[in-house]
Chains A and B, each alone.
Chain A
């Protein structure tokens, strides 16, 4: 698992060797073809949650109103499990139950406050109370909207928890308030086990790993490994504080959300993160995110989640 991130550091270094320059451009781009985008998850003990939006022209309005208009309403959304189909109903955020609010916030990275009635912000999901995720189950997703058909399948894999968490001091003794978080993990003896992780400090929300949030056992199948775990951070920051990146502070209560995912789900995040990390880099390797949605974009992904908490000392 540890072999994946460092070629990018290598490229970062090579990039630095030549001081390139950037300038703003006014591009006139064709509108492209509208596609439906799925952001849907199911984890053990929670209902399926599917957000259905449409892609919009890249330089179109970024306002909250425009976002609200990108939600796709009145689609027929069904999830099939064990041969039984469950129809998902569209629910707007003011009508969310507290439990649903927590699930949506956790799974989609939206702060809970923005999902409350008075946030001035409308968010729509398709969900059902009739189905709760179970470990080891497969879930088919089928979406019909004005003649468009989207299908996908995912599983909630068997749980693959972390064995233990611990910290080691910052290598610079002067930085005595910072700690590196380590995890140890024993991979089951079957190939294809994959993990997506998130971390949470104190009362902050969970954030996935910033550059890399997914691991796969292709090279470590069946082994026990211990390795540093970078702190999750919100995406879209103008600048990353390199002195603090990856470290946790002494006194923090840290919770790790450790989610077993299946291989197509892993490939989605892996290719998406590669695309984001490459964007704008002269030595990047651009690629197109590998969606598991047939007929659309986005992800239908199951999470088999365990939580692990440590107080940093």
Chain B
């Protein structure tokens, strides 16, 4: 135990996590007391693909004789578990692969490498949703779901574009941001309260084209995990959820390529070894050609169309330095690009927006009990819109840039304890929405008082999964987060005419404002039987970066702002309680969770705010208030067999209360949805045909409508009712798909996916408004309530996918 501590200490000295170590040591001491009587040994090793030698991430390794002991493999296929001395049957399972069992004697710390052979069917066509996780009755975490890519691939999708963000919207507790939209809202939280991570890098705007598509190219993604609120202590900085996405690693032994050609985009992925069994690469690209498809809708432009496109590039290099060290370098770069020229030639513009991320990672196994993961991360989001009009060239831009360093440890001192601790640091640069216009004579006008903001965000965390008894598993965590806004910064005070009355100037690096929060996280699982358990959870969290949107959907122009001298952090407390059961030999698993979430210092735009050019930080337009959300979520999933799928239902209520909005009265949040139901299934008819379908139903969205009207300058204006007091029609939709696998050939596999979005052409409301035409003076006034739908017709698509080895 002491030696472990000293290793941790040496590694961490430069990172000043001594205090964490102290905590760890104390916890270890406490932990060891009851367990020290028993001799336990460590079993570690790797689960690999028998054909390629590639590590299999997320495979389960368990001991048949001790059902409570098991492990899930890391990204590189490595695992470790601790068990009392004895003879065990080690069972390894992985989706699309045959299970293996091997018997071994555990009388000392041992290593074992397990090779899994793919099942007869190709991975892509596998419809078995094998248990990558331990059965849900086993873990302590509440509201955590993992979606293997194979499940996602059999489901119907809009335009044939696989999209993990749309698939997670089918899970209970997750509300979609509207028709065809990748935006999501978790348990009453705002759109900015989801932590979206791609290989540890925060993705600030995960949507292309107004969020109709996510930036995640499904071919480049290995695993997706969603945590709805009771997040472990290692995650922080957002209140409502974590969506942790891991990029795939390249094949260590063979070259291969795969791709697809779809209606609006094509994809290509190539991968292979750089040094056999040592180093590999994978590169993925995706590019749209929607410009060609959409041009008929765009008559009024010079080219008779808009060259709008988006693309994504993903890449990852992996290097197994030794049995204990693994290096990887991964990155993402994506852009939405277009230009727009009005037909008379007076207005010319170009715009682009997108994310770029890079992650350098070193995973090191010190010994069979201690694992370290160090990553250096870069993340950038940039929006730019540039136009010429009336003799001025104007540039509008906004963005975020992060540099982060994370050091995470995973320590299993005994059978009963699993600790995670570490430190995370990020330097943020937040570029607010700025504009500058330059005239022909070189004169410039701009938002000279709107300047970037800088901040340091640091967090220390420690958590312990403690098997108190065979039945009781307690997970205790504590996260301590710190946020410091630093200069250069000028804090302006304005009078009612927006004239600066006073300002405080801070020099570069000078402290402007600090915030900190202690974020306790706790959950517990009590097994009622091998098949059922109850879990309870509590989590406090703080959020230091905010994005406030007042449009119907978040827009690429929306601005991330930090907590600062102007804006306080958002905070949340969540309580959850759940009952979990698996039956028919784990073929089915079901759960019921209730949650209550209290949200503090939520942000909205003030009443009457209209976006426009301003020489003041946007934060001055915010008002703050509180929120509350509670609900019950039911989930039933069938995991094996030719027919698989799930049913999810959420009954919930989400409200907000702001002193300065809605006359101080409580109002429903925009994504308050009383009922939210989804039914998802896939059926493997034979070796060639697989059918998929999904059906959703949700209570109508809350909206604000005019109740009365009046005239001004002879035209109609509205007096609105209470905020979000009206409900639109419910949303429901059926999507279907069929996948036809091509005939088996030696090196090439292919498949066709046909899908129909909105099979029965439901006109789901996107927004309601009251249209008015005419004027008083012409005595031709007309008023009509209208419903706007985005994709009100069945939309078929076809995609051809291939893979080559």
Contacts and interface: CB of A to CB of B under 8 A. Distances in A.
Query: Do A and B share a complex?
Result: yes
Contacts of A288: 607-608, 720
B610 A274 contact: yes
B435 A29 contact: no
B779 to A, nearest CB: 7
Interface in B482-515: 496-499
Interface in A256-313: 263, 267, 270-272, 274-276, 279-280, 282-290, 297-299
A223 interface: yes
Nearest to B766: A282
Interface stretch (A53-61, A82-90, A140-148): A53-61
B102 interface: no
Contact of A191 (B498, B790, B791): B498
B344 A218 contact: no
Contacts of A234: 775, 777-778
A58 B786 contact: no
Interface in B783-800: 783-793
B768 A34 contact: no
B781 interface: yes
Contact of B385 (A4, A7, A284, A299): A7
A99 interface: no
A24 B389 contact: no
B708 A236 contact: no
B297 A19 contact: yes
B721 A17 contact: no
B6 interface: no
Interface stretch (B63-71, B116-124, B710-718): B710-718
Interface in B650-686: none
Contacts of B609: 271, 287
A17 B550 CA distance: 21
A282 B790 CA distance: 9
Contacts of B771: 279-280
B773 A236 contact: yes
B763 A219 contact: no
Contacts of A243: 344
Contacts of B498: 191-192, 218, 263
Contacts of A9: 340, 342, 347, 349
B613 A219 contact: yes
B615 A21 contact: no
Interface in B615-637: 615
A23 B763 contact: yes
Contacts of A73: none
Contacts of B785: 24-27, 59
A171 B605 CA distance: 40
Given A3-B437, A285-B610, A25 B390 contact: no
Contacts of B612: 4, 270, 274
A223 B345 contact: no
Given A114-B777, A228-B390, A20 B766 contact: yes
A139 B12 CA distance: 69
Nearest to B555: A283
Interface in B741-765: 763
A226 interface: yes
Contact of A110 (B344, B708, B714): B714
Interface string B277-321: 000000000000010001001101000001010000000000000
Interface in A86-122: 108-111, 114
A235 B776 CA distance: 10
A237 B715 CA distance: 11
Contacts of B300: 242
Given A25-B786, A236-B774, A275 B610 contact: yes
Q: State the main secondary structure of chain A at its contact with B.
A: loop
Interface residues of B, number: 104
B712 A39 contact: yes
A220 B443 CA distance: 11
A218 B604 CA distance: 23
B615 A219 contact: yes
A10 B210 contact: no
B710 A235 contact: no
Contacts of A7: 385, 396, 557, 611
B53 interface: no
Contacts of A225: 439, 445
Q: Residue among B297, B347, B612, B714 with the most chain A CB within 10 A?
A: B612
B394 interface: yes
A245 B786 CA distance: 26
A227 B776 CA distance: 32
Interface string A205-220: 0001000000000111
A37 B783 CA distance: 20
Given A2-B390, A2-B437, A24-B786, A64 B779 contact: yes
A228 B792 CA distance: 40
Given A10-B349, A58-B770, A283-B210, A17 B707 contact: no
A258 B373 CA distance: 66
A29 B608 contact: no
Nearest to B707: A32
Contact of B391 (A37, A170, A227, A299): A227
A62 interface: yes
A31 B709 CA distance: 11
Nearest to B290: A17
B551 A283 contact: yes
A3 B385 CA distance: 11
A130 interface: no
B718 A58 contact: yes
B176 to A, nearest CB: 15
A237 B777 CA distance: 12
Nearest to B551: A285
B88 interface: no
Contacts of B394: 2-3, 6
Contacts of B720: 288
B786 A298 contact: no
Given A2-B390, A298-B712, A29 B786 contact: no
Interface string B702-737: 001111111111111111110000100000000000
Contact of B550 (A29, A287, A289): A287
B2 interface: no
B447 A219 contact: yes
Contacts of B775: 234-236
A77 interface: no
B787 A30 contact: no
Given A2-B390, A16-B297, A170-B344, A109 B713 contact: yes
Contacts of B557: 7
Given A236-B773, A279-B769, A283-B555, A34 B708 contact: yes
Contacts of A149: none
A234 to B, nearest CB: 6
A23 B785 CA distance: 9
Given A111-B777, A280-B769, A285-B550, A235 B385 contact: no
A279 B225 CA distance: 38
A108 B713 contact: yes
Contacts of B443: 223
Contact of A22 (B391, B786, B793): B786
Contact of B781 (A19, A32, A35, A236): A236
A27 B714 contact: no
A56 B713 contact: no
Interface string B431-467: 0000101010001011100000000000000000000
B553 A208 contact: no
A218 B615 contact: yes
Contacts of B385: 6-7, 10
A241 B496 CA distance: 39
10 contacts: A21-B793, A27-B785, A29-B726, A31-B707, A35-B719, A55-B719, A218-B613, A272-B712, A276-B717, A297-B719
Closest 4 CB pairs of A and B: A32-B707, A290-B608, A274-B610, A55-B708
Given A3-B437, A20-B789, 6 more contacts: A35-B708, A58-B783, A67-B711, A208-B713, A219-B437, A234-B778
